[in-house]
């Protein structure tokens, strides 16, 4: 009988979970995540304040003319030209969204559902190229259409990705021929 008593004495019940400590850790983690999110949001707002000297975005004219090209895709953001990580957030230019692009003789119309639309007059267009990345979005080589344009006293690169990437080359050719034409016309005047 002694061996049975010793076996019974060795058995222990399972440890009880310390719920107060677990809840404390979860609350602490949630507060940390909220703090990081708040700091990121404040940084975004501060960047917009620093870029407050950027003029209001132009809107499309009432009669922009007949569409030369149209494209449906995504707008990935705008940066200071040549600095692909210096995102511009003022006036909603930092907001990624769907985009419908229309190129006319008057310029480039960017319609963004759920975000601020903008228009780039033909005289403000500077260049177009294929690239692989812009401010937080990196794609394969040539997967991004980057349009360089002037707004106020800044040169801005805006990145777009078509739903059909084969369209990018046609857009680069059309935009670059348009910028050469507008530069030549400006020099003749």
Q: State how far the Cα of 47 lies from the Cα of 66, in Å rounded to an integer.
A: 37
Is the torsion defined by CA of 92, 95, 97, 103 positive or negative? positive
Give the pLDDT confidence score for residue 84 in this predicted structure.
79
Give the pLDDT confidence score for residue 133 in this predicted structure.
77
Give the pLDDT confidence score for residue 10 in this predicted structure.
63
Give the pLDDT confidence score for residue 186 in this predicted structure.
43
Q: State how far the Cα of 87 lies from the Cα of 75, in Å rounded to an integer.
A: 13
pTM: 0.72
Give the pLDDT confidence score for residue 2 in this predicted structure.
57
pLDDT digits (tens, 9 = 90+) for 85-136: 888 888 888 888 999 999 998 999 999 998 889 999 999 999 999 988 787 7
Give the pLDDT confidence score for residue 61 in this predicted structure.
84
- Cβ atoms of 49 and 55 within 8 Å: the answer is no
* pLDDT higher than 60, residue 43: yes
3-state SS record for the chain: CHHHHHHHHHCCCCCCCCHHHHHHHHHHHHHHHHHHHHHHHHHHHHHHHHCCCCCCCCCCCCCCCCCCEEEEEEEEEEEECCCCCCEECHHHCCCCEEEEEEECCCEEEEECCCCCCEEEEHHHEEEEEEECEECCEECCCCCEEEEEEEECCEEEEEEEEECCHHHHHHHHHHHHHHHHHHHHHHHHC
Give the pLDDT confidence score for residue 183 in this predicted structure.
47
């Amino acid at each position: 009988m002694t061996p049975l008593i010793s076996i019974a004495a060795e058995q222990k019940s399972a440890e009880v979970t310390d719920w107060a400590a677990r809840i404390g850790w979860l609350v602490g983690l949630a507060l940390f995540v909220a703090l990081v999110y708040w700091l990121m949001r404040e940084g975004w707002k501060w960047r917009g304040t620093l870029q407050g000297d950027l003029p209001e975005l132009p809107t499309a004219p009432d009669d922009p003319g007949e569409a030369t090209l149209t494209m449906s895709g995504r707008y990935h953001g705008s940066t200071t030209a040549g600095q692909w990580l210096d995102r511009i957030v003022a006036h909603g230019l930092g907001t990624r969204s769907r985009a419908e692009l229309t190129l006319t003789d008057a310029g480039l119309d960017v319609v963004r559902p759920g975000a601020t639309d903008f228009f780039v007059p033909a005289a403000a267009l500077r260049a177009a190229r294929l690239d692989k990345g812009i401010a937080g979005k990196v794609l394969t080589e040539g997967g991004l259409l980057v349009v360089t344009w002037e707004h106020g006293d800044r040169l801005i690169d805006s990145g777009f990705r078509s739903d059909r990437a084969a369209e990018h080359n046609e857009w680069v050719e059309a935009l670059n021929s348009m910028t050469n034409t507008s530069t030549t016309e400006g020099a003749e005047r």
